[in-house]
Amino acid sequence: MIKIELKDGSNLEIEQKMSILEVAKKISEGLARVAMTGKVNGEIKDLRFEIEKDCKLEILTFNELEGKKAYWHTTSHIMAQAIKRIYGDVKLTIGPSIDNGFYYDFDKEKPFSDEEFSKIEEEMKKIIKEDLPIERFSLPKEEAIKLMEKEPYKIELIQELPEGEEISFYKQGDFVDLCAGPHLMSTGKVKAVKLLSTSGAYWRGNENNKMLQRIYGISFPKASELEEYLNMIEEAKKRDHRKLGKELDLFFFDETAPGMAYWMPKGFKMMNILIEYWRKEHEKRGYEEFSGPQLNSSSLWKTSGHWDHYKEDMFVLTDVDGNEQALKPMNCPNSIKIYQSKLRSYKDLPLRFNDVDVIHRNEKSGQLNGLFRVRMFRQDDSHNYIMESQIKDEIKDILEIAKKFYDIFGLEFILTLSTRPDDYMGELELWDKAEANLKDVLDDICGKDNYRINEGDGAFYGPKIDIKMKDCLGREWQMGTVQVDFQLPLRFNLSYIDKDGEKKTPIMIHRALFGSFERFIGILTEHFAGAFPTWLSPVQVKILPITDKQLDYAKQVKSILMENDIRVELDDRQEKIGYKIREAQVEKIPYMLIVGDKEIEASAVGVRNRKEGDIGQMPITEFVKLIKEEIENKKI
C-alpha cells in the first residue's frame, strides 16, 4: 500500500503505482480536468510521473504559478513546432516559461515581423486542434546528439551535461525537443494563445555569441482570461514608469550612463521622503545606520565568496598601485567590517546595521529595464547579527516592518521560501537548520502550507524568504528578501562573547524590504499611474491665482503652507485658470488651490482635489488641517 499525503493534510492510499493524473482522477474527475502538473515531496513533476512510494503530493492547476508555468512551457513548444512547420530551416535554442508567459529563441537570419505573428498563431491553433499527445522519453548522450544532429544549439547543451545524467526529450507529433519539462499531457489542453512581441537576444545572454530572434507569448485556459490580460497590458503601457518619469519630471535615462538614472529634483525629493520614512521606522526598532566604502579590495570579496560566485556581475578595476578592486554590488561585507570594529557581547545582540549606500552591479545591457533593472541603485539594506535562539523573533519583527511598509501603499503581501541552490556554500547540516527555522516562522505567520516554496532559489550562502506583492493590475513583483546566513560569519571569523565567557559565532540575517528604492519607486509609479499619495508626492499643493491681482495673496498662502511643511508650488503665469487647472491635473498634483477675489475677501482658498474635482471654498487654516491629517495618516 502506498500512502499519499495531500495538501489539505488528508491521506490517500493506493494499492499500486499510479501516475499523478490517475491520482487526481481518484480524488475528483473535475480536479483531473484542470490539473496542469504535480508537486511530489516539493519537486515539480509531470502529470505522467508515476508515484511508487509514500510521498506528499499537491495537484497544481492554472491557479498556481507552477501550474501556469507548465501550461506556458507547453505553449512555447507549440510555438516552436509551428515555426518549424512554417520556416523549416530555423534552428531551435531554448524556450522556457517565465512569470508572465513564455518565450522561445530562434536562430533565423531574417528577424520576425509583427505581421508574421498571425500566421504563426494560426499554425499554433492547428496544432492545438490536432490535440497531439505529448510524450516524454530519455536517451544516452550519444543517441541524444544523433537525434539532434540538425540542431547545433541543442547539441551544445547536450555535450555540456555530465556523463550519466538523464537526457530527456518531449515529443508531440513530428516535433521533438530537448527539455527537462514539465509539460501538459497534450497540445489540446492549451486554449487561448497570443504572441506579444519580438526582440533580439544573444545566445546564452553573452554578447559575444550570435544574436537570436526571441518571440514572447502568453496563453490561458479561457479566451476571456486572455482578453482580460491583454487589457491589462494596454493599461500597463499607459502606466509605464519610464514614460511617466519623464512626463512628471521625476527621472530619465541617457546613453551617457546606461542603467543609471538621472534623478530630477522632484524625483529625488520623493526618493528622500521614502528614505526618511524608512529611516525613522527603523530607528524606532533599534536599527543603527552606517555607511561604507564604494570600492573594496578584491581580498574582501574573495573572503566573502562573492569573487567566486558573483565576479562577472561586478565592476572590477585596477588602482594606480596595481591592486584589484571592485565597486560593491552589495553591502554585507562592509557591514561585517563594522561588526568587526570592536568586541561584541551577547548583550549587544540583536545588532542591526542598516544602510542606504549606492551599489553597482554590472548587468548586461540587454537586461536593463528602466528602474526595474539598473546598474546603480540604493538598496534598503540591513544586516542583523543575532544568536540562534533569536532567529524566530527577529524574522517575525522584520516581516512586521515589511507588512507595515506595504500596507501604507495598499499592496498585497505574498511570502515565498527559497531553498538551497545547487551552488550552495557551506555545510548541509547548517542549511537544513536554517531552512527549518524559516519554515517554523512562516508556519506561524501564514499557517502551514499557506506560503509558496521555491526549491533551489536561495542565495549561495543561505535560504531566504522572498517577499512579493501584487499591484493594482494584478502583476506580481519580487520585492524584499530575508536571508538567514550561517556561512559569512564563519568565513569572516565573527564572534561574540556569550554569557558563559566563551566566544561564539553569530548568525547573520540579510534583509531588504523595498528591494531597492529605485525599483520600488518604479513600481509605485506604475501602481499609482503617477498619482502618488499626498504624503509622498513631491509637490502636494499647487496655488493657482486667477489673475495677477491675486498674486500677493497667493504668495501669503504659499508662505503659510511652507511654514506647515507642506510642499507647494505657485503657478504665477499669465494663463487662463482653466489651462492652469488642466496642467496641474496632468502633473497629478494632489491639491489645487484656486485664488480669486472671493477667496481674498473670505481669507479662504478654493480647494480642488485631483480625484474629486472641486470640493469648495474653505479657510486656509481648515485646509492646512485637512491636508496635514492626510499626510500624517499616510492616506492612499
Mean pLDDT, the chain, integer:
93
HEC per residue, 320-352: CCCCEEEECCCCHHHHHHHHCCCCCEHHHCCEE
| pLDDT value at 449 more than 80 | no
Is the pLDDT confidence value at 450 over 80? Answer: no
CA Rg, the chain, in Å?
Answer: 29
Residue 243 belongs to some domain of the structure = no
Both 336 and 401 in one domain: the answer is yes
CATH number at residue 40: 3.10.20.30
Query: What number is the average pLDDT over the span 417-443?
Result: 84
Place of cell 487654516: 621
Domain boundary among the residues 464, 495, 527 is at 527
Q: What is the mean pLDDT of residues 379-396?
A: 92
234 and 288 belong to one structural domain: no
Q: At residue 283, does pLDDT exceed 90?
A: yes
Q: Which grid cell sits at 399?
A: 516581516
Residues 419 and 502 in one domain: yes
Cell of 20: 499523478
Across residues 157-169, what is the average pLDDT? 90
The verdict on 56 and 156 lying in the same domain is no
Higher pLDDT among residues 422 and 312, named by residue: 312
State the pLDDT confidence band at 455, using cuts at 50, 70 and 90. Answer: confident
481 and 602: one domain?
no
Whether residue 248 is predicted with pLDDT greater than 90 in this model: the reply is yes
Q: What is the pLDDT of residues 519-565, one digit of tens each?
A: 999 999 999 999 999 999 999 999 999 999 999 999 999 999 999 99
Distance in angstroms (rounded) separating the CA atoms of residues 263 and 183: 45
Residue 178 sits in the same domain as residue 94: yes
Residue 439, pLDDT score? 87
User: Do β-strands 262-263 and 251-252 pair in parallel, antiparallel, or remain unpaired?
Assistant: antiparallel
Catalytic residues: 332, 361, 379, 381, 383, 464, 510
Answer whether 204's CB lies under 8 Å from 105's CB: no
Residue 614's closest CA among 599, 601, 625, 602? 599
C-alpha–C-alpha distance, residues 417 and 96, integer Å: 22
DSSP annotation of 62: T
pLDDT tens digit sequence for 294-344: 999 999 999 998 898 889 899 999 999 999 999 999 999 999 999 999 999
Q: What is the DSSP letter of 2?
A: E
Instruction: Characterize 376-391 residue by residue with b for buried, 16 or more Cβ atoms within 10 angstroms of its Cβ, and e for exposed.
Output: bbbbbbbbbbbbeebb
Q: What is the mean pLDDT of residues 77-99?
A: 94
Give CA–CA dist 325/95, Å, rounded.
38
Last residue of a domain, one of 527, 553, 582: 527
Residues 472, 399 share a domain: yes
Both 18 and 126 in one domain: the answer is no
pLDDT band for 606, please (50, 70, 90 cuts). very high
SS (H, E, C) 392-442: HHHHHHHHHHHHHHHHCCCCEEEEEEECCCCCCCCCHHHHHHHHHHHHHHH
- Give the domain-ending residue among 469, 493, 527: 527
Q: What angle do CA 33, 130, 166 make, to 5 degrees?
A: 70
Q: Write phi, then psi, for 8 (nearest 5 degrees).
A: -80, 5
What digits encode the pLDDT tens for the residues 174-225? 999 999 999 999 999 999 999 999 988 889 888 889 999 999 999 999 999 9
In a domain, 534, yes or no: no
- For residue 257, what pLDDT is reported? 95
Residue 440 within any structural domain of the chain: yes
Q: Tell me: do 460 and 509 sit in the same domain.
A: yes
pLDDT of residue 300: 95
Confidence of residue 113 (pLDDT cuts 50, 70, 90): confident
Is residue 247 domain-resident?
Answer: no
Residue 305 lies in a domain: no
* Shared domain check, 550 and 521: no
**Rounded to an integer, what is the distance from CA 157 to the centroid of its chain?**
28
Is the separation of the CB atoms in 624 and 566 below 8 Å?
yes
Look at residue 223 and tell me if it is in a domain: yes
Residues 45 and 185 occupy one common structural domain: no
In the chain, how many domains are there?
4
- Structural domain contains residue 479: yes
- 124/101 Cα distance (integer angstroms): 15
Domain of residue 367, CATH code? 3.30.930.10
> Where does the pLDDT of residue 7 fall: very low under 50, low under 70, confident under 90, or very high at 90 and above?
confident
Tell me the pairing of strands 351-355 and 288-289.
Answer: parallel
Q: How confident is the model at residue 436 (pLDDT cuts 50, 70, 90)?
A: confident
| Residue 226 lies in domain | 66-238
Tally the residues of the chain. 636
For the entire predicted model, the pTM comes to 0.82
Cell of 462: 543561505
Has residue 425 got a pLDDT over 80?
Answer: no
342 domain residue, yes or no: yes
* pLDDT category of residue 447 using cuts at 50, 70 and 90: confident
In this structure, are residues 333 and 304 in contact, taking their beta carbons and an 8 Å threshold?
A: yes
CATH at 550: 3.40.50.800
Q: What confidence tens digit (pLDDT) does each residue in 24-62 have?
A: 999 999 999 999 999 998 889 999 999 999 999 999 999
- Asked if residue 376 and residue 514 are part of one domain, the reply reads yes
Asked if 314 and 297 count as a contact pair (C-beta separation under 8 A), the reply is: no
Contact present, 303 and 574 (Cβ < 8 Å) = no
